[in-house]
């Protein structure tokens, strides 16, 4: 691969009225304040976070011991990052004041050697790096670094980044290939991609070097699972905390199957993609594409959920994708976005942006309620609340979103994804502009030093029309790459109102290479037919079943619309599909009405001789998967429905 695209400066991408513009308004007005209150223990009826308090304690402005998970600091970091994105387009001096105060606390909690971590500060920082398997120190560091870069980009304020530079310098002094240094890495990848961001923000390649070191020694030096400290019942799980859980059973360059803890895996692969972009090491690219193929072809749910098993929150084996017991953590879906996006900068293949799309409209997005104040950690594709409430092997499955979690990694993570959604819309090379996502927005892209203004308007994902207009001072020849989504079979393209035939379709992108003029408009129409999707029959849970999709959206059926016992329902593939526009919690939505059957079987006993059972014709209703559980709590939901 020698295509290397550039990311946009997030500051330069403004969201307009539309699906994501509205979501980002909610982020600024509701989600950021809600999460701030929660991190400060001010939300009633949810588990106390203590995350801000922990920094007050570490800064010696409060008595006590840090509480919460050992990686509680990262919640603060991710919130700062989300808030920074929000500030880029929704200035808010009160919010900025809160963050500055937080930054002051973080700074005050920093040790003279640069170390920052509330938990290990309480333990005594001579114990730092003593539990690299599960201590999450560099994971927290990575999130603080990412936050510091985002806040710097949003406000130009360097304080937090300066703090994190000192901390990163400490890490670089204490870890590395030199004999006197520690030869290890964090059990939870995150620092790697953060160090890349820090290098880009500071121009100092030292941090990338360190990231590469961490990635390169993985597999030659392994984590020792017997050294795992026991917090939250980890001892009982120890036989699962094996090397492959930590993604260090083999060197990265030899990896072929996505495995281990799903979030760890995604963050690591994202870091590896960064390393490949820097080094061009073809062994890394080979590993990345093998891993990607394995993910896409064998180990991902149709919603974009990943991690088929609760214990270890992890990947299992090919085609093992139980709809009711998967882990499908919101954070893991977010991690897929990070990795996919980096892949799309390396390889101009739409499969990566298709994956980003899958996540942001389905697997990741289902992790937050429409009102922004309730979250799913686990995003199942099928719930039967009575069963999930009883069965121990579904203990991890909640059938309603909750306001916060004891381990609350997901809420702030989805917030920062929402805040940074603009980043995933465009990329560019010297001679091309690539549109990955169809999201109402405007931006300015520099091609060989010349600015092109790009304005995109669309009601996507509800509506199939996308209107793009270009502004520029001088005519300019460049390639415009428009993603043809994988779900779309028919589409039309007009330029300045005239059907365009001079394009080429390559690796899922429509390439229009021409001399563009100020005022040019592009109209893309992506036919959004309702379609039934099926699975490879090696995925044993899905034989005889199908999923309704429209555009990028996976649909599901809820008890709310279709009554209980959803397993009795059958879709008629010959059905006409009727679209119904509906406002759900002030969000416009498109629901699908279709023909199907309900097959209710009553036998004399629990089992009885098979009879020609009458099917009752019913009109079924499906809603977008990401909206499930918003209208009622603890009801049945199914993505995969039997077909006649």
Which x/- pattern, by CB under 8 A, does the window 152-191 give for its own copies? ----------------------------------------
Among 471, 531, 615, 631, binds its own copies (CB under 8 A): 531
Residues forming beta bridges with residue 599, ordered by sequence position: none
CB neighbour class for 124 (10 Å; exposed up to 12, middle 13-18, buried from 19): exposed
CB 78 within 8 A of CB 135: no
Region from 187-195, 420-428, 515-523, 594-602 binding its own copies, contact rule CB under 8 A: 594-602
Give the H/E segment covering residue 341: helix 330-346
Binding of its own copies by 608 (CB under 8 A): yes
Nearest CB to its own copies, comparing residues 91 and 573 = 573
Which x/- pattern, by CB under 8 A, does the window 243-282 give for its own copies? ----------------------------------------
Binding of its own copies by 227 (CB under 8 A): no
Among 317, 505, 579, 632, binds its own copies (CB under 8 A): 317
Binding of its own copies by 289 (CB under 8 A): no
CB 15 within 8 A of CB 422: yes
Binding of its own copies by 576 (CB under 8 A): no
Label residue 124 left, alpha or beta by phi (over 0 means left) and psi (-120 to 50 means alpha).
left
| Catalytic, out of 190, 192, 313, 382 | 313
Residue 106: which residues within 8 A CB-CB, separation 6 or more? 55, 59, 76, 116, 144, 160, 163
What are the φ/ψ torsions at residue 569 (nearest 5 degrees)? -85, 150
Our answer to whether residue 582 is catalytic in this structure is no
Binding of its own copies by 242 (CB under 8 A): no
Q: Which residue has the tokens 């017991």?
A: 325
Spatial CA neighbour of 346 closest among 278, 296, 404: 278
CB of 393 to its own copies, least distance (A): 4
Structure tokens that stand for 468 in this block: 């793009």
Enumerate the H helices of 218-261 as residue ranges.
none
CB of 268 to its own copies, least distance (A): 21
Which x/- pattern, by CB under 8 A, does the window 463-502 give for its own copies? -----------------------x----------------
**Cα–Cα distance between 482 and 167 in angstroms, integer?**
41
Helix (H, G, I), strand (E, B) or coil at 190: coil
Binding of its own copies by 546 (CB under 8 A): yes
Binding of its own copies by 634 (CB under 8 A): no
Binding of its own copies by 320 (CB under 8 A): yes
Nearest CB to its own copies, comparing residues 319 and 446 = 319
The DSSP secondary structure of 80-100, one letter per residue, reads HHHHHHHHHHS--HHHHHHHH
**Cα–Cα distance between 614 and 638 in angstroms, integer?**
22
Binding of its own copies by 302 (CB under 8 A): yes
Give the H/E segment covering residue 35: helix 32-39
Binding of its own copies by 240 (CB under 8 A): yes
Q: DSSP character for 614?
A: P
Nearest CB to its own copies, comparing residues 221 and 529 = 529
CB 522 within 8 A of CB 494: yes
How many residues are present in the chain?
644
CB of 250 to its own copies, least distance (A): 18
CB neighbour class for 76 (10 Å; exposed up to 12, middle 13-18, buried from 19): buried
| Catalytic, out of 140, 331, 409, 488 | 409
Among 127, 431, 567, 585, binds its own copies (CB under 8 A): 567
Number of chain positions touching its own copies (CB under 8 A): 58
Binding of its own copies by 234 (CB under 8 A): no
Binding of its own copies by 127 (CB under 8 A): no
Touching its own copies, residues 385-444 (CB under 8 A): 386-387, 390-393
Nearest CB to its own copies, comparing residues 297 and 431 = 297
**Cα–Cα distance between 266 and 339 in angstroms, integer?**
6
**Cα–Cα distance between 580 and 380 in angstroms, integer?**
25
Region from 18-26, 70-78, 295-303, 440-448 binding its own copies, contact rule CB under 8 A: 295-303
Our answer to whether residue 174 is catalytic in this structure is no
Binding of its own copies by 204 (CB under 8 A): no
Helix (H, G, I), strand (E, B) or coil at 279: helix
Q: How many CA atoms lie within 13 A of 617 on its CB side?
A: 3
Binding of its own copies by 300 (CB under 8 A): yes
Binding of its own copies by 584 (CB under 8 A): no
**Cα–Cα distance between 571 and 553 in angstroms, integer?**
18
Among 565, 582, 585, 619, binds its own copies (CB under 8 A): 565
Residues serving a catalytic function are 313, 409
Binding site for its own copies (CB under 8 A): 233, 236, 240, 296-298, 300, 302, 308-312, 316-317, 320, 325, 384, 386-387, 390-393, 486, 531-540, 543-544, 546-547, 565, 567-568, 573, 599-603, 605-611, 613, 642-643
């Amino acid at each position: 691969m020698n295509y290397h695209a550039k990311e946009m400066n997030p500051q330069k991408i403004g969201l307009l009225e539309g699906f994501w513009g509205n979501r980002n308004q909610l982020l600024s007005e509701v989600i950021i304040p809600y999460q701030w209150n929660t991190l400060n223990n001010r939300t009633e009826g949810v588990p106390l976070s203590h995350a801000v308090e922990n920094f007050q304690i570490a800064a010696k402005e409060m008595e006590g011991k840090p509480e919460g998970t050992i990686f509680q600091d990262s919640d603060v970091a991710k919130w700062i990052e989300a808030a920074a994105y929000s500030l880029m387009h929704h200035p808010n001096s009160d919010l900025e004041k809160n963050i500055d105060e937080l930054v002051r606390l973080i700074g005050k909690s920093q040790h003279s050697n640069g170390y920052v971590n509330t938990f290990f500060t309480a333990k005594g920082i001579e114990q730092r790096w003593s539990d690299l398997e599960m201590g999450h120190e560099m994971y927290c560091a990575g999130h603080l670094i990412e936050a510091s870069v985002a806040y710097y980009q949003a406000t130009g304020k360097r304080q937090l980044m300066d703090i994190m530079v000192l901390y990163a310098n400490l890490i670089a002094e204490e870890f590395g290939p030199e004999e006197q240094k520690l030869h290890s890495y964090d059990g939870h990848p995150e620092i790697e991609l953060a160090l890349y961001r820090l290098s880009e923000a500071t121009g100092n390649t030292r941090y990338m070097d360190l990231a590469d070191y961490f990635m390169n020694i993985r597999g030659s030096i392994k984590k020792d699972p017997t050294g795992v400290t026991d917090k939250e019942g980890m001892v009982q799980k120890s036989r699962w905390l094996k090397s492959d859980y930590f993604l260090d059973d083999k060197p990265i360059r030899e990896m072929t199957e996505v495995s281990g803890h799903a979030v760890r895996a995604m963050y690591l692969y994202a870091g590896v993609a960064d390393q490949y972009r820097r080094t061009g090491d073809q062994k890394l690219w080979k590993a990345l594409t093998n891993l990607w193929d394995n993910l896409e072809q064998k180990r991902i749910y149709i919603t974009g959920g990943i991690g088929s098993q609760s214990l270890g929150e992890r990947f299992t084996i090919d085609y093992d994708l139980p709809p009711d017991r998967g882990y499908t953590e919101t954070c893991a879906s977010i991690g897929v976005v990070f990795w996919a996006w980096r892949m799309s900068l390396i390889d101009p293949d739409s499969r990566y942006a298709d994956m980003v799309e899958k996540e942001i409209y389905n697997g990741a997005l289902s992790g937050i309620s429409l009102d922004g104040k309730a979250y799913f950690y686990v995003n199942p594709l099928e719930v039967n609340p009575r069963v999930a409430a009883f069965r121990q092997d579904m203990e991890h499955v909640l059938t309603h979103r909750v306001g916060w979690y004891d381990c609350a990694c997901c809420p702030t993570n989805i917030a920062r994804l929402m805040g940074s959604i603009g980043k995933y819309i465009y990329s560019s090379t010297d001679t091309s502009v690539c549109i990955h996502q169809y999201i109402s927005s405007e931006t300015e892209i520099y091609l060989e030093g010349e600015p092109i203004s790009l304005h995109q308007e669309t009601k996507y994902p509800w509506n199939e029309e996308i209107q793009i207009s270009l502004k520029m001072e001088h005519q300019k020849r460049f390639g415009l790459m428009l993603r043809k989504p994988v779900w779309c079979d028919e589409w039309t393209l007009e330029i300045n109102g005239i059907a365009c035939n001079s394009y080429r379709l390559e690796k899922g992108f429509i390439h229009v290479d021409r001399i563009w003029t100020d005022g040019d408009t592009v109209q893309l129409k992506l036919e959004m037919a309702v379609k039934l999707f099926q699975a490879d029959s090696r995925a044993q849970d899905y034989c005889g079943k199908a999923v309704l999709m429209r555009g990028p959206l996976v649909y599901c059926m809820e008890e709310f619309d279709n009554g209980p016992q959803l397993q009795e329902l059958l879709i008629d593939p010959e059905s006409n599909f009727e679209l119904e526009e509906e406002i759900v919690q002030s969000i416009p939505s498109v629901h699908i009405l279709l023909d199907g059957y309900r097959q209710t079987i009553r036998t004399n006993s629990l089992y009885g001789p098979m009879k020609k059972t009458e099917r009752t014709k019913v009109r079924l209703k499906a809603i977008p998967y990401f909206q499930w559980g918003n209208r009622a709590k603890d009801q049945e939901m199914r993505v995969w429905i039997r077909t006649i």
